[in-house]
Every structure is written in C-alpha cells, then in structure tokens.
C-alpha cells in the first residue's frame, strides 16, 4: 500500500481540511484516515460503495460488517467513514470532563508532541426519515 498521510501539526490539519480531507459528502468525501495511514495487524480493507460511488477505507472487520449493513439499508443515503471530530477544543473539553487524557500526536520515538490528535468516529450516516427529512447518526 502507499505511504500514509503524516498529520503532525496544526498546519498539517489546516492543509488537509483545505484539500477536502474529512469534509464533503457522497462521492466527493475523503476520509480523515485511510487504510494505508494506520498500522495494524487487523483486517483493513478498501471497499467500493454503491451508494457513494467511491472507495471506503475500513480499518477492521467489524467496520466492514457494519458498512455492508449500512450500504444495503434503504434509509441510509450517505456513508462517511473515519469522520473527524472538530473542533479540537470541544473534544479536549469532553476528554477532560470524563477524566481522560486527550490523544496527542506521537513525535520521535513515540514521545508526544504538544499537538492534539484529531479523533474520528467510525461512521457518519445520513438517513432519510419517513417524513422525507434528513437525519445524521454517528457510529
């Protein structure tokens, strides 16, 4: 697989957002994390979506199984995987409230640098309600 993205600073985050990573919907959406960005011994996969007409980057067999459930659910009209959670200040406040240390970007030899890591939700689904409206669900 190709070399992964290296997001190590706030400038890298801004550049990624400016390049359309982690924003948009449907065919134009690009996930914040791709299969090649994450070191894993698990089952990473890239699957073509029939609803979105693009490749989906799935980081585990559980994500793959859930993707197929969403793909063939008639209420689901868009699937965005590895969706970034912004603003970072809010995710930091939530972590502090729960007495957890917010993940930090790893520096040289695993030493954290003073940059908050962007957290993601596995999926953000767009659903059509029975009344014809839209609803969003983070999984």
Q: Is a pLDDT exceeding 60 seen at residue 2?
A: no
Within a domain: 128: yes
Res. 110 pLDDT band, cuts 50 70 90: low
Instruction: Give the residue numbers spanning the domain of 124.
Output: 10-138
Within a domain: 87: yes
Domain CATH code at residue 14: 3.40.1350.10
Q: What is the mean pLDDT of the chain?
A: 91
Overall domain count for the chain: 1
Pick the most confident of 3-12, 38-47, 72-81, 111-120: 72-81
The model's pTM is 0.88
Give the CA-trace dihedral at 30, 124, 59, 119, to 10 degrees: 80
- State pLDDT tens for residues 39-55: 777 789 999 999 999 99
Query: What whole-number percentage of the chain has pLDDT above 70?
Result: 94
Tell me if 128 sits within 8 A of 75, measured CB to CB.
Answer: yes
Within a domain: 1: no
């Amino acid at each position: 697989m190709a070399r992964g993205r290296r997001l190590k600073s706030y400038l890298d985050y801004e550049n990624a957002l400016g390049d359309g990573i982690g924003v948009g919907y449907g065919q134009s959406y690009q996930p914040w994390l791709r299969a090649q960005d994450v070191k894993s011994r698990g089952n990473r996969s890239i699957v073509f979506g029939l609803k979105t007409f693009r490749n989906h980057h799935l980081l585990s067999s559980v994500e793959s199984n859930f993707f197929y459930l969403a793909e063939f659910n008639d209420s689901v009209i868009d699937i965005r995987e590895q969706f970034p959670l912004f603003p970072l200040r809010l995710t930091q406040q939530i972590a502090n409230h729960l007495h957890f240390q917010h993940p930090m970007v790893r520096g040289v030899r695993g030493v954290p640098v003073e940059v908050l890591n962007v957290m993601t939700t596995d999926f953000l689904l767009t659903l059509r309600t029975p009344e014809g409206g839209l609803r969003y669900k983070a999984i």
